[in-house]
Each structure stands twice: as structure tokens, then as C-alpha cells.
């Protein structure tokens, strides 16, 4: 009886030792993996904590981003062919003397300066192979902050048809994994014009809403804004700007009588969309069908223009201009 109890006790102790040994081995393995595993990519701002983008020719500040203060301000667009100065700060949370991190840029060499990189931090050393005239920089991660400047030129033609994300600065770990990057959208001058005008029209829309302008007019205004944004996203910024400029800038309707007038005015928007469809649908088999639809829209516009002329000459003139453009397209 006693031998049986002792045997069970020895078995229980053995199991406890095995579990304890296994647990210790797991802890050791976990610690080893944590020490030797490559650094994982983080969310934006966890490595590059802040940066500014300037026009290297004029010194104008284009973009100012600070993830620590949660601010992101765009002052002007970044265009293809632009000469840029990018100042950025990398916050390194640990030291890893055996590792080598890399900074790269996709910009072409600047025509204004003889270098790609400039080290701003006075207490941080880069690798012995550091050459400021190369498009990459190697360095050993040491706990602290590394501030640098990157100079370069956006290739001409970038973002000419639609916004194109472009890598100004990229940070990678020893395995080549991207830890963080500065990658704003490059746009054309027309896109920048659209962006500024769109923001102005959005502010105007809020003013109209606060002023109690007729809801039918508000619906039309919002539809034009939405359509212009969709058109700009397709790369047709000039057409999007023209659409926004077609919106009246004064004498907006307030009385309820205007409601009956501006609900049909959504047909004007449909006509404009059809015109733009000609750009996207160039197949001959579809053009004849679209032409018939446009002719119907012209007839609707004639009636709408007549009604608006009795109330507001400016809006009537805008509608008449749209009608004439449609006529020119279909050869009427």
C-alpha cells in the first residue's frame, strides 16, 4: 500500500519536473526568437515620426506631417518635375549593433545640389560607407532620434493623368522589410487647381446650408461636387474644374418656389455626365446611342433654361452654355 502511494508521488513529481523543464525551454526559445527575429514593419509614424516637404527652388512649404502631434497639413501640391527638400526624423526605440538599416529614395538626383542626403543629427553616426551622393544610406540602429534631409527631383510626367503615390524616403530593416516610408501623392497643376477649388466649393456648400438655401439647390450642389471628384479621380482634372466653375457664385435660391425648379435641374448634371462619358466610351457602336441621349438632354435643357431665365439670368446663362456645348458635340 505504502509502495503504491510512494510510486504515485514519484510519478507526480516527475510530471511536475517535466512540465517545469518544458516551460523553461519555451521561455528560453521565446527570448531567443525575440532577440534574433527581424524587426517588423509598423504603422505610419512609429519610425518616421515627422517630416516636411519643401520646394527646393522657392523654399515654399508643401507638406508638414507630425505623427506625435497628430497634424497633417498640405499647403500646396507636389508636381512631377519638382525639386524637393524632405526633412525627416526617425525615432529608433532600441539599439541593435549587429543590424543594418537602409534609407532609400526613388527621386532622381537634384539639379540644385550635389547630394541626396544631409545628416542633421550631430550625435548620430552613419556607416563608414556613407556617401551623401548615393540614393541610399546604411546605418546601425541606435536608440534615439536620427534627423536627416533628402534632396531630389520627381521624374517629369509623374502624376500627369491621376494622383501617383511616390516614395520620397523609405526605411527598411536587414531583411528588406519596409518599416516606414514617406509616400505622398504627386499630382498635376490641374489636379492642384481642382483640389483648391473643390475645398472652396465645399466651404461654400456649408455656407449655403447654414443660410437656409432651398434643399433642391443644395442637392444639385452636392451632386456636382461628388461628380467632379469622381471625374478628377479618373484623371480628367480640367473637366472637373470646369464642372465646379459652372456652379453659380451668388443669388442662390432661398424660397420654396425654387424647389420645383432645381429638382429638374439635376438633369443638367446628367447631361454633363453623359458628355464626359464620351471620353470614356469611344467605341463606335456606343457613340450613336449616347448621341441620341444627348439630343434628348438638349431638349430638356431648352425648357429648363427658359424657366430659369425668368428668375435668374446667371444660372440661365450657365445652362445655355452647357446646352451649346452639347450641341457642338453632336453637330446640331
Between CA 189 and CA 172 the distance in angstroms is: 32
Cell matching residue 68: 506625435
Mean pLDDT of 18-38: 36
How big is the CA angle at 163 (ends 162 and 169), to the nearest 5 degrees? 145
| CA-wise closest residue to 231 among 186, 263, 276, 173 | 276
- Type and span of the H or E element at 327: helix 313-330
Of 203-217, 227-241, 282-296, the one with minimum mean pLDDT is 282-296
pLDDT for 21 equals 38
40: confidence class by pLDDT, cuts 50, 70, 90: very low
pTM: 0.61
* Structure confidence at residue 131 (pLDDT): 94
Confidence of residue 180 (pLDDT cuts 50, 70, 90): very high
Segment 185-203 mean pLDDT: 89
| Residue of higher predicted confidence among 317 and 291 | 317
Number of Cβ within a 10 Å radius of residue 77: 23
Bigger pLDDT: 122 vs 330:
122
By C-alpha distance, which of 319, 317, 202, 325 is closest to 266? 319
CB atoms within 10 A of CB 136: 15
Lowest average pLDDT, out of 82-86, 233-237, 263-267, 327-331, goes to 263-267
Give the E-state strand segments of the chain in sequence order.
48-55, 61-66, 71-74, 78-79, 83-92, 101-104, 117-119, 136-139, 144-153, 164-165, 169-172, 178-182, 185-187
Least confident window among 151-155, 195-199, 232-236: 232-236
| Whether pLDDT at 258 is above 90 | no
Amino acid at each position: 500500500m505504502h509502495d503504491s502511494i510512494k510510486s504515485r508521488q514519484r510519478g507526480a513529481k516527475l510530471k511536475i519536473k517535466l512540465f517545469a523543464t518544458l516551460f523553461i525551454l519555451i521561455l528560453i526559445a521565446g527570448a531567443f526568437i525575440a532577440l534574433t527575429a527581424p524587426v517588423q514593419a509598423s504603422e505610419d509614424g512609429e519610425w518616421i515620426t515627422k517630416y516636411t516637404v519643401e520646394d527646393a527652388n522657392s523654399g515654399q512649404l508643401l507638406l508638414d506631417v507630425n505623427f506625435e502631434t497628430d497634424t497633417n497639413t498640405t499647403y500646396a501640391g507636389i508636381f512631377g518635375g519638382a525639386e524637393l527638400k524632405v526633412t525627416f526624423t526617425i525615432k529608433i526605440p532600441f539599439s541593435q549593433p549587429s543590424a543594418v538599416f537602409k534609407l532609400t529614395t526613388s527621386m532622381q538626383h537634384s539639379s540644385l545640389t550635389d547630394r541626396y542626403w544631409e545628416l542633421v543629427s550631430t550625435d548620430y553616426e552613419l556607416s563608414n560607407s556613407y556617401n551623401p551622393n548615393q540614393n541610399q544610406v546604411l546605418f546601425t540602429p541606435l536608440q534615439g532620434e536620427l534627423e536627416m534631409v533628402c534632396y531630389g527631383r520627381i521624374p517629369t510626367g509623374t502624376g500627369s493623368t491621376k494622383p501617383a503615390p511616390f516614395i520620397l524616403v523609405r526605411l527598411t530593416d536587414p531583411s528588406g522589410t519596409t518599416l516606414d516610408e514617406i509616400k505622398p501623392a504627386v499630382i498635376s497643376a490641374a489636379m492642384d487647381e481642382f483640389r483648391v477649388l473643390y475645398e472652396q466649393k465645399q466651404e461654400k456648400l456649408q455656407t449655403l446650408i447654414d443660410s437656409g438655401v432651398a434643399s433642391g439647390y443644395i442637392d444639385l450642389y452636392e451632386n456636382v461636387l461628388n461628380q467632379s471628384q469622381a471625374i478628377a479621380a479618373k484623371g480628367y482634372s480640367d473637366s472637373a474644374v470646369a464642372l465646379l466653375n459652372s456652379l453659380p457664385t451668388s443669388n442662390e435660391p432661398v424660397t420654396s418656389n425654387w424647389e420645383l425648379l432645381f429638382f429638374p435641374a439635376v438633369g443638367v448634371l446628367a447631361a454633363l455626365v453623359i458628355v464626359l462619358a464620351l471620353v470614356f466610351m469611344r467605341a463606335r457602336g456606343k457613340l450613336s446611342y449616347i448621341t441620341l441621349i444627348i439630343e434628348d438632354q438638349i431638349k430638356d435643357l431648352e425648357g429648363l433654361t427658359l424657366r430659369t431665365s425668368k428668375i435668374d439670368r446667371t444660372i440661365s446663362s450657365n445652362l445655355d452654355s452647357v446646352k451649346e456645348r452639347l450641341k457642338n458635340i453632336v453637330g446640331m
